[in-house]
Amino acid sequence: MFETVLVANRGEIAVRIIRTLRTLGITSVAVHTDADAGARHVRDADVAVRIESYLSIDAVLAAARETGAEAVHPGYGFLAENAAFARACADAGVVFVGPPAEAIEAMGDKIRAKRTVAAAGVPVVPGSEEPGLSDEELIAAATSIGMPVLLKPSAGGGGKGMRLVRDPAGLAEAIASARREALGSFGDDTLLVERFVENPRHIEIQIFADAHGGAVHLGERECSLQRRHQKIIEEAPSPLLDATLRASMGAAAVAAAKAVGYVGAGTVEFVVAGDRPEDRNFMEMNTRLQVEHPVTELVTGYDLVELQLRVAAGEPLPFTQDDIALEGHAVEARIYAEDPSRGFLPTGGRVLSLSEPAGAGVRVDSGIAAGDVVGSSYDPMLAKVIARGADRQAALRGLDRALASYTLLGVPTNVGFLRALLSHPDVAAGRLDTGLVERALPDLTGDLDGPGDEVLAAAALERMLALEPDRPGNPWEIPDGWRAGGPAWTRWLITAGGRDPVEVRVRGRAADAEVRVGAAGPVRARARWDDRGRLVATYAGRTTAYAFARDGDVRWLGRDGRAWALTEHTAAEAIGTAGPAASGLVRSPMPGTVLAVKAAEGDTVTEGQPLVIVEAMKMEHTVVAPVDGLVARLPARPGAQVALDETLAEIVSAPEAPEAPAAPDAPDAADAAGAVPGAPEV
């Protein structure tokens, strides 16, 4: 076995690999860029080396030489499926923990892969198998196959460049678009065309092969829950397959691996007709460890990273096919730094507070810790939460409970969306296909639009608690709005998620108050801190405990897997906030870099006119003027880094300062008179 292994990756997969290296007593070496200098995988490793890029073969191999690493584990992504890297490792005398370069090349090209496995007797999706087809030849192939068809780049994966075409009239435009994206993503615009299977299910087989001729499969994973061809939730085993189909697909996957002289861990992916599971065809092979490998580990009991290392060290597989049995059920959910309520735009920021689920049957593979900064330079996946149960229903319930106890404050995530997806009737029943998520998206995101009144009330009560003295004292220091005629209302303007500010009014002390949210009537409410640092708020008779963190003027509240960033406005920002149509503040929809500024201070702009272009995760987003008016402020500058919801511009309706919004109706004259000194009235 190796004494020192370099992990050529970052994030949760690097942390996960390091965990196994530690268990085996192997010295772990991490590499990192400047952006990741303080990252968790760097802190967890025994040794860390700075490199310019995770994609630099020379830098990674130099780090291996410097630290005496005998092997390099590439994880997934970056260099994991790079045949040139595998070959460079061999030339440098460093073991590549993965398949031979020739196997990577054979399976990395989808056209060549289909030909290879078809020759081995593995069924493939009908389609074009000739490399280098012109646009006209692709159109002719699609016409002969019959609509609908799927255009796919021959190189690369992850859904990039894929186009579903149902109408022959749209083929030419779809081909041009797919070629552009494929060229930009993989440097190769070669396309293939396949028949599209209606209501397809995505089922993959985990295979393992050693250098001594041994090859087995470890069952399947169902990966049909996807959005834009990206997997969201995976499980093992599939609710679709029975033992006979499992054995048949497993044998086909092993045959595909043997056809290219495979060694190590790999995944053979199939598209399966949901109404005819016997109709299954090879899609592609991933020549690396998969993101979703934990579900296989939990139902087989094998550590796949350990097996990778042992096979790479020349050891034979410690079992045969007859030794492998699947026990129970496991489901995994991927946690991303993204905002489902904003079209899944990437997010970011500093992790202010993090509480991850634990307990029997729950596993978390995470790449972050409290205090870490989630930037926009790399993939937005933060962690994976996995639950195992005696059966599928138990595993789904366990995963939902685990997600409900996952609390991350400081970075918006998709956890609330994941819980909504798990509760969908078709998911619960196992009626899955790759289009389910997109069809159900309006329902899945409908309840994620913003905080409810109880959350806004809790935020306002927290502000009252912050202003109240720690011990009883001068009653005039208590910000309860008291006046000679009785208590008055203290007013707060609060924004959540870049939406228009909502006025929340509080009358009385936080321990016994009335709260009015927006135009709603008064509701009895109270708040206090518990001994765990949580904000415990009661609103309309319902008591809820919130995780809490501050970040400047932003208050983060979290519960049940959800988190809300609530911003208290200053008087200047409150100008023009009488309603959505009057709001002229322009905020960044995601953290990233300002690529271009399309206006200047003093310009007259119209609603919908582009103002600023922000880029994150190689995604450009054009921010437009929300209203007609003049650009009063434009702090955005090309090249500047901006945070989520950071102000980019302010639009006013006239050159002169606009009037402040009219005060909401108050129950009595004393209420309308004003607020307590020391408590903001904006």
pLDDT in tens, 232-275: 999 999 999 999 999 999 999 999 999 999 999 999 999 998 88
Name the β-bridge partners of 329.
389
The amino acid present at 446, given as its one-letter code, is G
pLDDT digit string (tens) for 289-324? 999 999 999 999 999 999 999 999 999 999 999 999
Residue 577 tokens, joined: 């906030």
Length of the chain: 682
**CATH no., domain 4-97:** 3.40.50.20
Identical fold for domains 202-327 and 328-449, yes or no, is yes
**CA angle centred on 228, ends 640 and 626, rounded to 5°:** 45
State the DSSP code for 342.
G
Tell me which of 48-52, 160-164, 547-551 is least confident. Answer: 160-164
pLDDT digit string (tens) for 386-429? 999 999 999 999 999 999 999 999 999 999 999 999 999 999 99
pLDDT reported for residue 670 = 38
With contact defined as beta carbons under 8 Å apart, do 555 and 462 qualify? Answer: yes
| Cα–Cα distance measured from residue 444 to residue 442, given in angstroms and rounded to the nearest whole number | 6
Neighbours of 167 (CB within 10 A): 9
**CA angle centred on 317, ends 316 and 320, rounded to 5°:** 130
| Cα–Cα distance measured from residue 431 to residue 222, given in angstroms and rounded to the nearest whole number | 11
With contact defined as beta carbons under 8 Å apart, do 265 and 288 qualify? Answer: yes
| Cα–Cα distance measured from residue 47 to residue 59, given in angstroms and rounded to the nearest whole number | 15
DSSP for 421-456, please give it.
HHTSHHHHHT---TTHHHHHHHHHHGGGSS--HHHH
Which listed CATH number (3.30.1600.10, 1.20.1270.360, 3.50.30.30, 3.30.470.20) goes with 202-327?
Answer: 3.30.470.20
Name the β-bridge partners of 575.
none
* CATH topology for the 580-652 domain: OB fold (Dihydrolipoamide Acetyltransferase, E2P) (2.40.50)
With contact defined as beta carbons under 8 Å apart, do 463 and 473 qualify? Answer: no
pLDDT digit string (tens) for 336-382? 999 998 889 889 999 999 999 999 999 999 999 999 999 878 889 99
pLDDT reported for residue 591 = 81
| Cα–Cα distance measured from residue 618 to residue 511, given in angstroms and rounded to the nearest whole number | 48
| Cα–Cα distance measured from residue 3 to residue 69, given in angstroms and rounded to the nearest whole number | 8
**CATH no., domain 126-196:** 3.30.1490.20
Residue 94 tokens, joined: 């460093």
DSSP for 645-658, please give it.
T-EEEEEESSSSPP
Residue 25, φ and ψ in degrees, nearest 5: 75, 25
User: For a pLDDT cut of 70, what percent of the chain falls above it?
Assistant: 90
Question: Taken in order 12, 13, 14, 15, is the CA torsion positive or negative?
Answer: positive
Residue 306 tokens, joined: 């350990």
Band (pLDDT 50/70/90 cuts) for residue 327 is very high
**CA angle centred on 271, ends 12 and 183, rounded to 5°:** 65
Q: Where are the domains of the chain?
A: 4-97, 126-196, 202-327, 328-449, 460-568, 580-652
Residue 126 tokens, joined: 């009908």
Which listed CATH number (3.40.30.10, 3.30.470.20, 3.30.70.1150, 3.40.50.150) goes with 328-449?
Answer: 3.30.470.20
The kind and range of the H/E element at 215 are strand 215-227
3-state class (DSSP) for residue 1? coil
The amino acid present at 436, given as its one-letter code, is L
| Cα–Cα distance measured from residue 169 to residue 179, given in angstroms and rounded to the nearest whole number | 17
| Residue 656 burial by Cβ neighbours in a 10 Å radius (0-12, 13-18, 19+) | exposed
Domain 460-568: CATH class, spelled out = alpha beta
